[in-house]
C-alpha cells in the first residue's frame, strides 16, 4: 500500500465488508472526490446481491456477489472496511482469521466494537482503525471520530483520514473517547431530527400549513448551525444575543429550562454512549465464549 502524490487512496485496494448506508456514504465520497478508482473498490455483504449490483450501477464499484469473488476481494484488499451489523460482527470478523495478511488494514464502522475485541476475535494483533461516523456523511457533511491501534503506520493513518475527510469532518481521538463521539455526533443527527419534529408539530398546532412549518424549521436549523460555524462564537453566546429580556424567546427558553431540557439532552447523550459500550461488551462476551 503506497501513497500517491495526487491522492492518498490512489492504487489502494478497498473492500467494503457490509454494504449499508454508511458504507455507501463513504464509497460515494471517495468516488465523487476522485480519491480512488471505482475499479479498486469492492463491495460485499452476506447475501443481498441486488444491493451490490445497485452500488455498481450508481458508483462503478466492483460487486463481490459470489463466494469466490468475496474470498478474492478479502485476500487482495489493502484495506477492509467493516460495516456489518453489530450482531453479525463477531462471526464475520472471526471468519477473517484465515485470509488476512499481517499488513492488511481493518477499518471498523461498528458502534461499540473495541480494537481489543477485534484483536481477540482474530486471535492476533492487526492494524485497526476504529471509527464512529454519522449519517450526515451521506451528503458529505459527516462528523467522524477516529482512533488507531498501535500497529497502524503513519501511511495508513493518512489514508484513513483522507477517506473520512471525503465525507465531512474527521477528528482523531483516544479510543477511550469513541463512545463520547458516539453520544455527541454519531447519534447526534437523530436528536436534531427529534427537535425538528417537535418544532414542525408545534407550528402546525399554531396554525401553519405542514409544508410551511417544515420549511421554516429546516431553514432555522440550517441557519443556526451555519451561524455557529461561520462566526466561531459559542452557541451559548449566540443564544444570549437573540434572547431579549422579558421577550418571547426568553419565555420559550424559560419553558425549556422548566422541563430540564439541557439535563434531558445530557442524560440522553450519556445513555447513548453507555449503550454503545454495552453493545461492545456483548460482542466481546461472544468473542470470549467462542
- 57 and 157 both lie in a single domain: yes
pLDDT of residue 153: 94
The CA-based diameter of the chain, rounded to the nearest angstrom, is 70
Look at residue 224 and tell me if it is in a domain.
yes
| Residue at 290 is within a domain | no
Residue 5 has pLDDT above 50, yes or no: no
Give the mean model confidence (pLDDT) for residues 260-280: 97
Percent of the chain at pLDDT above 70?
Answer: 97
Q: Where are the beta strands (DSSP E) in 36-167?
A: 41-44, 62-63, 79-82, 105-108, 128-132, 142-148
263 and 153 housed in the same domain:
no
Percent helix, percent strand, percent coil in the chain, to nearest 5:
60, 10, 30
250-259: per-residue pLDDT in tens?
A: 999 999 999 9
212 and 151: one domain? Answer: no
Pairing mode, strands 105-108 and 14-17: unpaired
Q: Across residues 280-286, what is the average pLDDT? A: 90
Q: Are residues 125 and 236 in the same domain?
A: no
Cell numbers 452557541 correspond to what residue? 235
CA of residue 271 relative to chain centroid, distance: 18
Cα–Cα dist 125/119, whole Å: 5
Across 163-180, average pLDDT: 95
Q: CA-CA distance, 118 to 194, in Å (whole number)?
A: 33
**Number of domains, the chain:** 2
pLDDT of residue 2: 44
Last residue of a domain, one of 179, 204, 223: 179
Q: Domain boundary at 156, 179, 202, which?
A: 179
Q: Are residues 48 and 119 in the same domain?
A: yes
CA-CA distance, 89 to 122, in Å (whole number)? Answer: 12
Same domain, 72 and 118: yes
Range of the domain at 140: 14-179
Residue 279 lies in a domain: no
Asked whether residue 33 carries a pLDDT value surpassing 50, the answer given is yes
Q: Provide the phi-psi class of 4: left if phi over 0, else alpha when psi is between -120 and 50, else beta.
A: beta
pLDDT at res. 9: 83
Averaged pLDDT, 182-188 = 96
Beta strand pairing call for 41-44 and 14-17 = parallel
The pLDDT assigned to 138 comes to 86
Structural contact between residues 62 and 42, judged by C-beta atoms closer than 8 angstroms = yes
Task: Supply φ then ψ for residue 191, to 5 degrees.
Answer: -65, -40
| 126 and 169 share one domain | yes
In this structure, the answer to whether residues 139 and 210 fall within a common structural domain is no
* Domain at 42, CATH number: 3.40.50.720
Whether residue 288 has pLDDT greater than 80: no
Sign (positive or negative) of CA dihedral 31, 33, 37, 40: negative
217 within domain boundaries? yes
Is 6 a member of any domain?
Answer: no
What is the per-residue pLDDT for 290?
62
State whether 126 and 199 are in the same domain. Answer: no
Amino acid at each position: 500500500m503506497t501513497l500517491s502524490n495526487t491522492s492518498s487512496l490512489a492504487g489502494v485496494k478497498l473492500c467494503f465488508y457490509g454494504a449499508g448506508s454508511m458504507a455507501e456514504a463513504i464509497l460515494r465520497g471517495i468516488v465523487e472526490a476522485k480519491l480512488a478508482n471505482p475499479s479498486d473498490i469492492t463491495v460485499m455483504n452476506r447475501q443481498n446481491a441486488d444491493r451490490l449490483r445497485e452500488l455498481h450501477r450508481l458508483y462503478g464499484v466492483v460487486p463481490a456477489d459470489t463466494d469466490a469473488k468475496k474470498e478474492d476481494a478479502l485476500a487482495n484488499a489493502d484495506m477492509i472496511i467493516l460495516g456489518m451489523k453489530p450482531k453479525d460482527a463477531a462471526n464475520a470478523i472471526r471468519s477473517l482469521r484465515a485470509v488476512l495478511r499481517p499488513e492488511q488494514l481493518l477499518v471498523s464502522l461498528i458502534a461499540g466494537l473495541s480494537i481489543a475485541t477485534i484483536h481477540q476475535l482474530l486471535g492476533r494483533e492487526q492494524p485497526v482503525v476504529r471509527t464512529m461516523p454519522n449519517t450526515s456523511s451521506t451528503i458529505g457533511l459527516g462528523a467522524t471520530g477516529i482512533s488507531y491501534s498501535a500497529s497502524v503506520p503513519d501511511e495508513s493513518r493518512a489514508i484513513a483520514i483522507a477517506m473520512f475527510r471525503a465525507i465531512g469532518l474527521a477528528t482523531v481521538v483516544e479510543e477511550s473517547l469513541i463512545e463520547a463521539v458516539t453520544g455527541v455526533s454519531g447519534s447526534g443527527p437523530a436528536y436534531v431530527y427529534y427537535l425538528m419534529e417537535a418544532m414542525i408539530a408545534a407550528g402546525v398546532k399554531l396554525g401553519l400549513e405542514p409544508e410551511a412549518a417544515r420549511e421554516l424549521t429546516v431553514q432555522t436549523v440550517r441557519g443556526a448551525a451555519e451561524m455557529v460555524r461561520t462566526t466561531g462564537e459559542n452557541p451559548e453566546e449566540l443564544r444570549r444575543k437573540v434572547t431579549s429580556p422579558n421577550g418571547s424567546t426568553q419565555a420559550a427558553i424559560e419553558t425549556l429550562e422548566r422541563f430540564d431540557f439541557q439535563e434531558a439532552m445530557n442524560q440522553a447523550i450519556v445513555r447513548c454512549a453507555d449503550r454503545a459500550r454495552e453493545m461492545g461488551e456483548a460482542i466481546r462476551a461472544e468473542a470470549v465464549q467462542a
